Structure 1
Amino acid sequence: MKRFLIGVLCASASLTVRADMTVENVGFQTPESVEYSVKTDNYYVANINGSPFARDDNGFISLLSPQGEVLELKWISGGLNGVHLNAPKGMAALGNRLYVADIDRVRVFSLPDGKPLFEVEVPEASFLNGVTPASQGGIWVTDSGVKEGFKPSGKDAVYHISADGDLTTLVSGMDLGRPNGVLEKDDELLVVTIASGQVHHFDLKGKLLKSEILPFNRLDGLVEDVNGNVIVSSWTAKAALQWQEGAELKTIFEDLNSPADLGLDTQRNRLLIPSFLDNKVWIKSLQD
């Protein structure tokens, strides 16, 4: 049974209406990320479906409408129709492509049909996680540097994968505090971390410019909204927080259990938040 919880908040002075939705009890299995595609005007939910380390070929991606309706629970499914998908995590929808991080490789699917196009193996990777578009084309992808049991693997890294599938290492070989969410902004690459609770600033050639320690660790998703605000999710804070360099974190949504890799609906300025442990997705309207 599909269940949608819809809350509407009205501010009478400005007549602003914010509609928030929770999509749950629909069959999600360890949803790790949600991504919005401008091309299709739909949401995509990456479901690990088991251990995030297991090469079990049972991961799947759900297709969700902006109204919160599950259009197809297993729109892309490991083991079916020539698809291999183990434990999908971060995603990026770029034009007619959907890039998906999957343990030690990035798999690329076509939009809007979801057919597998190609994959790029990252030989040194242990836990590919966050994905974001790169200004020079293709994507940036982080390796959180963990292995079974979430023990350090020594593989902390950030990679670039071009539109043609060429792999370049931006940074590796140093303890980055288990990198996760990643965002390119103003000629810098921002990377938030799981263990150390840091925001690392790299230039686009891999030089570490500086690092900041935030009040909370277990940082996960990282996006920029339509107004240029940077938003990060934290499992420790159980919140989505607005971050600005040199300023205090501002909590924008709280009481979120296991908020994982964030997505942004750029057409409606909505924050898309998967609950990794609770098998649901929050769709939250942001203030204009």
Structure 2
Amino acid sequence: MALFYGWGFPIPADASQVEGLQTPQSFLADPSGEFYFISNINGEADAKDNNGFITRLDKAGKITDLHFIQGGQNGTTLNGPKGMAIVDRLLYVVDVDTLRGFDKETGRTAVIVSLEERLSRETKRPIALIDVAYDGKGTLYLSDTEADTIYRVEIARQHAVSILTKNSALAGPAGLAWNAKTDKLVAVSWNKGKILEITPDGTVSELVSNSFFSSRFNNLSGVDFDDWGSMYVSDFSAGKVWRIRPDMKFEVIAEYLSTPADIGIDRKGHLILVPYYYGNAAEMNGLERPSTGGGSRKRSLADYGFDGLKKGPDQ
């Protein structure tokens, strides 16, 4: 697959591109702003091949350890790592049917939660986890796209697992993010391109519909929020990243991207983090801050601080 940097636009000074990855699914910033993590599936998404790995980057976006956490080494099991969340010193990663927690400083395994074992009586099909989000109050939420299910994991209760909601309205939930301003979970739909909101008691409602008359999205993969309340979603098959402002204004801030997967927002550095699943690469870029006035002019892509890894027009 041909990949194009820049595609005719100047690359912003704060852009950083990462290469040498293997099917990167998720890109996450540590709250300290000192380092980043990228999950690498490295093979089939749901294969239990124990060759997945987590890459660690410094605050400049440079790789410090490509295989910071490596399946099959040092007693570590890691098959197809996907979504990630950080809680204090632990880096949580969803891995096929298991939630794993690693020490973010050393990479050592600290927590293993097998959903397949804990929910064997309640689930009638294999569990295939895709993302995880933290509510900041002790609860993790995990998405299962194929099962139309969101699971809840309560950390303080020895990582007790339960089903928050199993609902066809989720339409293949993929990326998850906790909206701190509304105190609700947001999920994006892979199958129908909808954006959904889930209350802590499991009530599902449509935040953004994607009907025949209002179709914008194809297969949504990732979602996150910036400090100003804007939501960002990645459309994997359309190759776009959208920004949805608090006033529900929709903007495509980047397009012609190569399979943007589970994006993240670095709220400390105000950067967007984009893994390119089939591009085996990733990128971090500055984001436009809210306008403070000063006249109008035509904006270019550089105003949004985004100049992603592009797909060629023939792809």
Q: What band does the TM-score fall into relative to the shorter chain?
A: 0.7 to 0.9
Question: Residues 157-236 of structure 1 correspond to what in structure 2 (within 5 A)?
Answer: 157-163=149-155, 164-172=158-166, 174=168, 176-185=170-179, 186-210=182-206, 212-214=208-210, 215-236=216-237
**Is contact 1:40–1:111 with CA below 8 Å preserved after alignment?**
no
Distance in structure 1 (CA, Å) of the matches to 2:63 and 2:170? 37
1-structure distance, mates of 2:77, 2:230:
36
Match of 2:37 among 36, 40, 44: 44
Query: Does structure 2 retain, via aligned residues, the 8 Å contact 1:40–1:112?
Result: no
Can you list the C-alpha shifts for 1:147-182, whole angstroms capped at 9, x where unaligned?
xxxxxxxx2210111223111211015352110011
Deviations 1:208-262 (A, max 9, x none): 2335323112101110012221100002331110125773521112221100001
Q: Which of 84, 89, 98 matches 1:91?
A: 84
Larger strand share, 1 or 2 = 1
Aligned to 1:19: 14
Tell which deviates more after alignment, 206-215 or 50-59: 206-215
Distance of 2:265 and 2:197 partners within structure 1: 22
1:33 lines up with 2:29 in the alignment: no
Partner residue, 1:103: 96
Q: 2:109 maps to which residue?
A: 116
Match of 1:282 in 2: 283
Q: Which amino acid aligns with 1:225?
A: D
Match of 2:252 in 1: 251
**Residue 56 of structure 2, aligned match among 50, 59, 63:** 63
Aligned-partner residue type, residue 172 of structure 1: K
- 2:81 partner SS: coil
CA contact (8 A) 1:37 1:94 kept: no
Q: Which runs of 5+ in 2 are unaligned?
A: 117-122, 211-215, 290-315
Is contact 1:98–1:108 with CA below 8 Å preserved after alignment? Answer: yes
The amino acid that maps onto 2:268 is Q
Tell me how far apart the structure 2 counterparts of residues 134 and 286 of structure 1 sit (CA, whole Å): 24
The answer to which structure, 1 or 2, has the higher relative contact order (CA under 8 A, 6+ apart) is 2
> Are the counterparts in 1 of residues 189 and 195 from structure 2 also a CA contact under 8 Å?
yes
Give the Cα separation in 2 of the matches to 1:54 and 1:182.
22
1:192–1:199: 8 Å Cα contact kept in structure 2? yes
Aligned residues: 265
Q: d(CA) in 1 for partners of 2:233 and 2:28?
A: 15
User: TM-score, normalization: structure 2?
Assistant: 0.79
What amino acid does structure 2 have at the position aligned with 1:231? Y
Is the aligned partner of 1:130 residue 2:131?
A: yes
Q: Distance in 1 between matches of 2:224 and 2:165?
A: 21
Q: CA RMSD in A?
A: 1.9
Change in 2 beyond 3 A, CA 1:245/1:227: closer
* Residues 270 and 40 of structure 1: CA distance in aligned 2, closer, same or farther (over 3 Å): closer
Structure-2 residue corresponding to 1:54:
47
- Any gaps of 5 or more consecutive residues in structure 1? 10-17, 146-154
Distance in 2, matches of 1:258 and 1:126, equals: 24
TM-score (norm 1): 0.86
Secondary structure class of the residue paired with 1:89:
strand
Q: Deviations over 1:70-128 (max 9, x none)?
A: 10110100011111000000001121010001110110001211110011111245220
Q: Secondary structure at the match of 2:82?
A: coil
